Chain A
Amino acid sequence: KAGVTQTPRYLIKTRGQQVTLSCSPISGHRSVSWYQQTPGQGLQFLFEYFSETQRNKGNFPGRFSGRQFSNSRSEMNVSTLELGDSALYLCASSPTTGFNYGYTFGSGTRLTVV
């Protein structure tokens, strides 16, 4: 069965622009979470969506937002990009929420802000 699919794989944006990243979870998985990975901070939780509702949010500014659609696909948006937003953004899906079965991660979207 298909894994977690993230598009695009690579993005280069200019400071001040906005960006939208997409994630398609494993079929049947209803929980989608997003993580930011940087060399300095490591893997940091952004937010989790379950049944189109944001269940939890990490310690990131309001410029970071997301949503989930009825088919469980999710998007995250970063507005007014800053150089420090350059990172690998990982999406992960799980069958459900509230109990951690262990995520299945996508390959990530590498965002570079110049």
Chain B
Amino acid sequence: AQRVTQPEKLLSVFKGAPVELKCNYSYSGSPELFWYVQYSRQRLQLLLRHISRESIKGFTADLNKGETSFHLKKPFAQEEDSAMYYCALSTKTGYSTLTFGKGTMLLVSP
């Protein structure tokens, strides 16, 4: 069975500092990876998908199959980035099921 691990429950940085939210996965096949974000009092929303190779709100994530990682990065953190971030994995088996990590709370201080 697949698993997603986010080793940090909380990551606290200062505004302007670089951010890296770690995500490691275990899955024997070829996964689809996602980052979801939940801002305070808002619903869970998709931040980015690895297949799109896009940058959203300055965040990027690269799938490293050798290290089975999909870390989320941003060069300069902003206070509005403070939120809960979830890494999620979907398998290409014909279903849309997502396996989520436990999440990392990012706090950006001024």
Whether both chains belong to one complex is answered with yes
Majority-rule SS of A interface residues? strand
Interface residues of A in 20-77 (CB under 8 A from B): 31, 33, 35, 42-45, 48, 55-56, 58
A107 to B43 Cα, complex, angstroms:
5
Chain B: minimal CB distance from A3 (Å): 8
What chain B residues lie within 8 Å of A42 (beta carbons)?
Answer: 100-103
Contact yes or no, A102 B34, CB < 8 A:
yes
Q: Tell me which of B12-20, B59-67, B71-79, B88-96 binds A.
A: B88-96
Q: At the interface, yes or no: B10 with Cβ under 8 Å from chain A?
A: no
Contact yes or no, A45 B94, CB < 8 A:
no
Q: At the interface, yes or no: B70 with Cβ under 8 Å from chain A?
A: no
Contact yes or no, A45 B44, CB < 8 A:
no
Using a Cβ–Cβ cut-off of 8 Å, how many residues does chain A contribute to the interface with B?
25
Q: Which of B32, B44, B46, B92 has the most CB of A within 10 A?
A: B44
CB < 8 Å: which of A3, A33, A58 contacts B96?
A33
A sample of 23 cross-chain residue pairs with beta-carbon separation below 8 angstroms, ordered by A number, consists of A3-B43, A33-B98, A35-B100, A42-B101, A45-B98, A45-B99, A48-B95, A48-B96, A48-B97, A56-B97, A58-B97, A97-B94, A98-B96, A99-B92, A100-B32, A100-B34, A100-B49, A100-B98, A104-B45, A104-B46, A105-B45, A106-B43, A108-B43
